[in-house]
Amino acid sequence: MDTLTPGRRWAALLALSLGGFGLGLTEFAAMGLLPEMAADLLPDTYARSTADGLAQAGWMIIIYALGVVAGAPTIAALTARMARKRLVLVLLATFLVGTLASVAAPTFELVLAGRFAGALAHGAYFGAAAILAGRILGPGNQGKGFAIVLGGLTASNLLGVPLVTGLGQAQGWRVAYLVVAAVFALSLLAVAWTVPAVAAAPGGSPRAELRAFRSPKVWLASLVVAVGTAGFFAVNSYIAPLTTQVTGLPDSAVPYVMALMGLGMTVGIAAGGAAADRDIRRTILYGFAAIVAAVILFGLLAGLTWALFPAAFLVGVTSAFIGPALQSHLIESAPGTQLMGAAVNQSASNVANSLGAALGGAAIAAGWGYLSSVWIGAALAATGLALALLSFRSTTPTPTPAAPATEPSPEIPATAPALA
């Protein structure tokens, strides 16, 4: 079998990761720019009550997550026969159009509609791109493939989100999202040029992909992701008011806190990919325990300026470390339907996003204070640990995920591939 040259292989992996970088920007920049979006789109509510305005603007986060939840399994089923590279290109084009629509929308409701439309392709992209990355790396590297694509998302929290947040604070959130649209356009071109053609799974069909939902193991593994990782989003969704209202730092400090959390996520995802390839279950169990400890520590130290930054870093490390293992666990729970398993993981992750943001916002709106979202986050992560233990009792151990047979390794030419 012909293989890519090392340079072309890494160029292809970076192109796929760049799409994840763009998705990190569009998803997480809204968290840092929530006050600016509330002031622009909900001026009367925000002027009357900052807490009420932020809680309502939290729908920018929730509606995006709901779009991912709805779109991931639907697109995975409908595109089962589509060549993987072509699928990734179509999804990137969808992000580009949805982001531009949000920027141009004049009202809160229309911005919500634009974010929902763009989010429909989010989960399917991470599933298809992670599968491509795994095939490019070769058998036995499933966790590393997921880590590379998800690494784009975590890198965005380190570099892109703080910069875009600072730009949005200075020039307005719409200017910030024009930059996000430009990243999607660049990723589209990079994938078209560097990523090799990869066929769909043999015998793939919507009916075959939907078989995954017949398995109780898939539903339980999804619940582990949806509840357990919601703990991170209960904290991250309100990182801006936590920084300014609890710690007492100025708005200009928010991008730096987000950068430290992003650095932690980048470190965590790299370590988590290697750990998942060694032992999925141990990585998940230790990972959830670490998240609980990190979130509690964050809540205890958030009022101290010197402690906020390292505490945010630890939350980022622990939350990202568990990601590749959770995705691998969901795929091993749905053998023969790899794309659906990967897509369902993203749906579950964004149920977590929506759940964490909604519960945190409800607690804040109820007058329990901004730190209440942190304590809710710790409780959600602890519940995820309990659900993971239950999930593992229902399945036989699989310490190292085998390369799935449903997506055969492609014939990858050493020269520049044609468009799929």
Residue 418: which pLDDT band, with cuts at 50, 70 and 90?
Answer: very low
Taking alpha carbons only, the member of 162, 304, 306 closest to residue 246 is 304
pLDDT of residue 315: 94
Residue range 204-213: average pLDDT? Answer: 61
Q: Is pLDDT larger for residue 9 or for residue 321?
A: 321
Per residue in 65-113, pLDDT (tens digit) is 788 878 877 887 777 677 778 889 999 998 999 899 889 888 899 999 8
pLDDT at position 348 over 60: yes
pLDDT at position 204 over 70: no
Per residue in 224-258, pLDDT (tens digit) is 999 999 999 899 888 888 999 899 998 888 888 88
Task: Report the topology of domain 6-393.
Answer: Growth Hormone; Chain: A; (1.20.1250)
Residue range 170-186: average pLDDT? Answer: 93
pLDDT at position 181 over 70: yes
Per residue in 23-38, pLDDT (tens digit) is 989 887 887 788 888 8
pLDDT of residue 124: 81
Residue range 409-420: average pLDDT? Answer: 37
Q: Is pLDDT larger for residue 161 or for residue 142?
A: 161
pLDDT at position 416 over 50: no
Residue range 302-306: average pLDDT? Answer: 89
Q: For the chain, which residues make up each domain, given as ranges? A: 6-393
Q: Is pLDDT larger for residue 366 or for residue 69?
A: 366
Mean pLDDT over the full length of the chain: 81
Residue range 263-274: average pLDDT? Answer: 85
